[in-house]
Structure 1
Amino acid sequence: MRPFSFSSSTTDTIDTADGLAQATAASRTRVLWISCMAHALHDGYTDMIYALLPIWQADFGLDYGALAIVRGVYAGTMAALQMPAGRLARSFGTRATLALGTLLAALGYAVAGVSGTLVGLCVALAVSGSGSSTQHPLASGAVARAYGRDARGPLSVYNFSGDLGKAALPAAISLLITFMPWRHALWALSTVGILFALAIALFLPSVPRGEPSPTDAPRAARGGSRSGFSWLFTIGVLDTAVRMGLLTFLPFLLKEKGISPPMIGTALALVFIGGAAGKFVCGWLGARLGVIGTVFATEGGTAALILAVIYLPLTPAMILLPVLGVMLNGTSSVLYGTVPELTPVERTERAFALFYTGTIAAGALAPVAYGFLGDRIGVHGATIATAVSALAIYPLALALRPHLRAA
């Protein structure tokens, strides 16, 4: 009887271990897809404003300065509150905080739908922006915790999902307002956000904050690298500045080459399509070629393609735009995937909050800085400056390398 009993116990143990492994895999997958859906929704809410600005201009009688304030209220609130969102999650948990943030983001747009003044509209967008401030640090932190040292690939999928939302929700609001008032369209899309907030509260698995998962053990043991994170943060800020600076001047460069006004939108779409593909591909590429090698390739490619677009005729320049998009956006997935590798497990959300705050601020300030430069040295000179800025990332990447080796 004893041999039989021993065999049965062993089998039960193996079955239990397999069941736990399957449950863990299912939980990780659910964390990833709910986080991706949150990223798509919140990024879609962020860019939906662009489709609404002309409508608000006509409905509220706003000038361009007021429109800039409207856009700035949302973006500024979202950027400023990312760090507090990470601290809030420490008290109430990722699931509750992300669900509440999604609810606020949706309710803000619902309130915008009943606003009758510029002040009311700005208050509504501040509420929505404060809700969206929770998404980047908490959803990316949840993915990093769930996958541990294998998070680089899933984080690239998460990063890519934001571009899907940026494409889907502005298109959806544009379609809805063709057959219903814009206020009703906002209420419809805010209802989607409310329902998704409920789904987060019910279905997002709880990822432990205090103790690392088994795949996180090596990262927990080494405790992260503060100086390494500083180099990574600087690279992220400069990479974002290059991207936003170039996008500021690209329409003017193409206009000089004789592109028609309707085709400028197509040209930008080619860049954005390539950018979405770059986010998806380069995260996985970084896991295979290494962070530094991938950063060298994407930043060097960015600089070379910027110069090519400046000096080539219109047709070959247009052909290169999707590849330029891959290079422009590809670095970001590699950088985001490296954040948890240089951060103690218990500070993952804070690190993501700091990283996203820096990149969002760089995205807001870079067009202004490059714009002033363009006024002084011209569009070509300022665009060449963006290529030089991309190459300036090389020494920063070399400074980051020892910290990755130590990791």
Structure 2
Amino acid sequence: MGTACGAHAVHDGYTDVLYVMLPLWQSELGLGYAAVGALRGLYSGAMALFQIPAGSLGDRFGAGLMLAIGTVMAAAAFPLAALGHGFLPLAAALVVGGIGASVQHPIASAVVARAYHGVRSRTALGTYNFAGDIGKMLLPAGTALLLTLLPWRTAMWALFAIGILAAIAILVATPAGHGRPAAKTLARPGTAAPVKGGFRLLLAIGIIDTGTRSGFLTFLPFLLAAKGAELPTIGLALTLIFAGGAAGKLVCAWLGARLGVLRTVLLTEGLTAIGILALLPLELEAGLALLPLIGVALNGTSSVLYGTVPELVPESRRTRAFGIFYTGTIGAGALSPIFYGLLGDWTGVTHAMLAVAAMVLATLPLAVLLNRAMRRHIAAE
């Protein structure tokens, strides 16, 4: 559990360090916003595409080895970016980093799911999910501070050193072959049997949830700027919503274990839609006060969804199931800002936000269908 959480913190921290670096790369290379978006998309796209192959390699060679290799590759993106000059070398470095980052989600999630069974797996996966947010808060902030002391190319080597140390720690803490699913496993309490159609419904909910979250976060700075916020205030707003999101992942994992998937998804997605709609007419100060609560609901659903995967698929198929799940959700997070961006160009930021809130509500009937599928499965056992 500790190894999985540590890997999640490092990998998610690396992913969000890009938000710190992109303005510097834009300025140094004279890039337009489309090129900046392409760089971010290459990283996310590589991470999404290699989820399933990474999970298969983890099953074959063991979780520890593959997590260590992935961590080194994710870390290597930064010195490769520092050594290169121009858009293409930078793009290639980010593809390498995205491939490395793809390893962590399916493998570490499956390791946690194998270690904890039944309802406990949902809470454990929520804790694992929360660890990623710790990395998102610490590594970007630490990198921003480091950039005030060192040239950015030098600072990239410090990030690489963190990855090397993390990879060594993973290898030391994880026995050889650990994380491979057993070829044959006896039925035991809490071991999931397939729920017909359940995983597809869960994946659909996850895709919509991640896509709307990404769309909201993309347009939030523009909405706040329209309310009169300057850059420091926008930075504070993002900190508030990410802090609320980190708390939401823990709180909603706990709620999911006690209330079940349906009630928790109805609660979190309903509050997300209400929060977005309430934010639109509010003045800036009141809107800032609301953001932590929106963050709790906005990010909390993901813990419930990740934690439900082990309940829908048998242990021998979980690594692949997590790979498919993360492929869909990460891909949605990469593509949805393009869709909402086109809508925003056409109708304005406010209408794009209204579309985000409306799309959130599409998860509610899917959650009802998922609950019915799980109830029918339980009744048939």
TM normalised by structure 2 equals 0.92
Greater per-residue helix proportion: 1
SS at match of 1:217: coil
How many pairs does the alignment contain? 374
Decide which moves more: 340-349 or 101-110: 101-110
Decide which moves more: 58-67 or 92-101: 58-67
CA distance in 2, matches of 1:181, 1:41: 22
CA distance in 1, matches of 2:272, 2:128: 23
Cα deviations by residue, 1:11-38 (Å, 9 ceiling, x for unpaired): xxxxxxxxxxxxxxxxxxxxx1111110
Structure 1 59/304 Cα, relative in aligned 2: closer, same or farther at 3 Å?
A: closer
State the shift of 1:339 in Å. 0.7
5 Å-filtered alignment, 1:115-126, equals 115-126=84-95
Unaligned runs of 5+ in 2: none
Q: Check the 8 A contact 1:146/1:207 in 2, yes or no.
A: no
5 Å-filtered alignment, 1:169-318, equals 169-205=139-175, 206-210=178-182, 217-220=188-191, 223-318=193-288
State the shift of 1:85 in Å. 0.5
1:336 aligns with 2:306: yes
State the shift of 1:213 in Å. 7.6
Provide the identity percentage: 52
CA distance in 2, matches of 1:401, 1:48: 38
Q: Check the 8 A contact 1:298/1:328 in 2, yes or no.
A: yes
State the shift of 1:51 in Å. 1.2
Q: Check the 8 A contact 1:226/1:343 in 2, yes or no.
A: no
CA distance in 2, matches of 1:57, 1:395: 42
CA distance in 1, matches of 2:43, 2:345: 28
Decide which moves more: 89-98 or 335-344: 89-98
Note the aligned Cα RMSD (angstroms): 1.9
CA distance in 2, matches of 1:267, 1:135: 29
State the shift of 1:78 in Å. 1.0
Query: In the alignment, what sits opposite 1:154?
Result: 124
Cα deviations by residue, 1:330-383 (Å, 9 ceiling, x for unpaired): 111000100111011111111111111111111111111122222333322221
State the shift of 1:212 in Å. 7.7
Query: In the alignment, what sits opposite 2:352?
Result: 382
Q: Check the 8 A contact 1:148/1:213 in 2, yes or no.
A: no
Structure 1 49/260 Cα, relative in aligned 2: closer, same or farther at 3 Å?
A: closer
Counterpart residue type for residue 191 of structure 1? A
Structure 1 259/59 Cα, relative in aligned 2: closer, same or farther at 3 Å?
A: closer
Unaligned runs of 5+ in 1: 1-31
Q: Check the 8 A contact 1:219/1:344 in 2, yes or no.
A: no
TM normalised by structure 1 equals 0.87
1:165 aligns with 2:129: no
Query: In the alignment, what sits opposite 2:334?
Result: 364
Q: Check the 8 A contact 2:106/2:326 in 1, yes or no.
A: yes
CA distance in 2, matches of 1:212, 1:282: 33
Query: In the alignment, what sits opposite 2:323?
Result: 353
Q: Check the 8 A contact 2:59/2:180 in 1, yes or no.
A: no
1:89 aligns with 2:61: no
CA distance in 1, matches of 2:37, 2:276: 28
State the shift of 1:391 in Å. 1.6
CA distance in 1, matches of 2:35, 2:222: 24
Of structures 1 and 2, the larger Rg is shown by 1
